[in-house]
Chains A and B, each alone.
Chain A
Amino acid sequence: SQTIHQWPATLVQPVGSPLSLECTVEGTSNPNLYWYRQAAGRGLQLLFYSVGIGQISSEVPQNLSASRPQDRQFILSSKKLLLSDSGFYLCAWTLHDWREKLFFGSGTQLSVL
């Protein structure tokens, strides 16, 4: 069966520090991969998605970037974190079928201080 792993679960970082969140999927190949952010008390904002290795689509211009170095690995990064980057980050995957549902990881709670 397919599983999605996301780490770390929680992270506290100072303003200006770098960020790297990692997400990996097991049990499937060539999935679509997504990064969402959920600010406190708000909905889910799509940040990036990828339909294949090295293919990244950015939804919102911001302080973050994403990379997909391997088929089932999706990384969210920042060179210098801002206070506004705080939030709950969720990774998700789906099959290459637009009718399919997304499967979500357990999320990373990022606090930038």
Chain B
Amino acid sequence: AQKVTQAQTEISVVEKEDVTLDCVYETRDTTYYLFWYKQPPSGELVFLIRRNSFDEQNEISGRYSWNFQKSTSSFNFTITASQVVDSAVYFCALRLNTDKLIFGTGTRLQVFP
């Protein structure tokens, strides 16, 4: 069965701290895509990144970075020097060669000034 686990329900940090959001996935497929979405208080999900199963290169985009490790089935997301605007719910998701996107339960990040 396919599954995405985000074990951290809620994380609180103070501004400028680094924070890592964990994502572990389960699938027997060898070809798949992984995603991260951000849900700010407004509610709309905002796409952050997509990574295919054959590309294990880590990616950095500004203060955001992603660490994909197939050996541990993890796709973790790190925010460096967090800011109050980073406060949101973050979702990790898995898409196999089907029409469905499977989401984790999300991690609520609160960044305090």
B100 and A106: CB pair below 8 A? no
**Could you tell me the distance between the alpha carbons of A88 and B42 in the complex, rounded to whole angstroms?**
11
* Among A32, A42, A98: residue with most chain B CB under 10 A: A98
A81 at the interface (CB under 8 A from B): no
Interface size on B, residues (CB 8 A): 25
B98 touches A107 (CB 8 A): no
Chain B residues lying within 8 Å of A88, measured Cβ to Cβ, are: 43
Q: Provide the bound-state CA to CA distance between A36 and B91, in Å.
A: 13
**A46 interface residue (CB < 8 Å to B):** yes
The smallest C-beta distance from A14 to any residue of chain B, in angstroms, reads 23
Is A42 in contact with B98, judged by CB distance below 8 angstroms?
A: no
Measured as residues with beta carbon below 8 angstroms from the partner, the interface class of chain A is 20 to 34
Complex CA gap A94/B97 in Å reads 14
| Residue A66, interface by CB 8 Å | no
* Min CB gap A109→B, angstroms: 7
* Contacting residue for A102 out of B43, B52, B101, CB 8 A: B101
| B residues near A49, Cβ cutoff 8 Å | 99-100
Chain B residues lying within 8 Å of A42, measured Cβ to Cβ, are 105-106
* Interface of chain A, main secondary structure: strand
The answer on a CB contact under 8 Å between A43 and B106 is yes
Most chain A CB atoms below 10 A, which of B6, B35, B45, B50: B45
Residues of chain A within 8 A (CB-CB) of B95 are 98-99
- A51 at the B interface (CB under 8 A): yes
How far apart are the CA atoms of A106 and B105 in the complex, in Å?
A: 19
Cβ contact within 8 Å between A99 and B91: no
Q: Which chain B residues numbered 60 to 113 have a C-beta less than 8 Å away from chain A?
A: 91, 95-106
Closest 5 interchain pairs by CB? A43-B105, A104-B45, A44-B103, A107-B43, A106-B44
Q: Which residues of A contact B (CB under 8 A)?
A: 32, 34, 36, 42-44, 46, 49, 51, 57, 59, 88, 90, 92, 94, 98-99, 101-107, 109
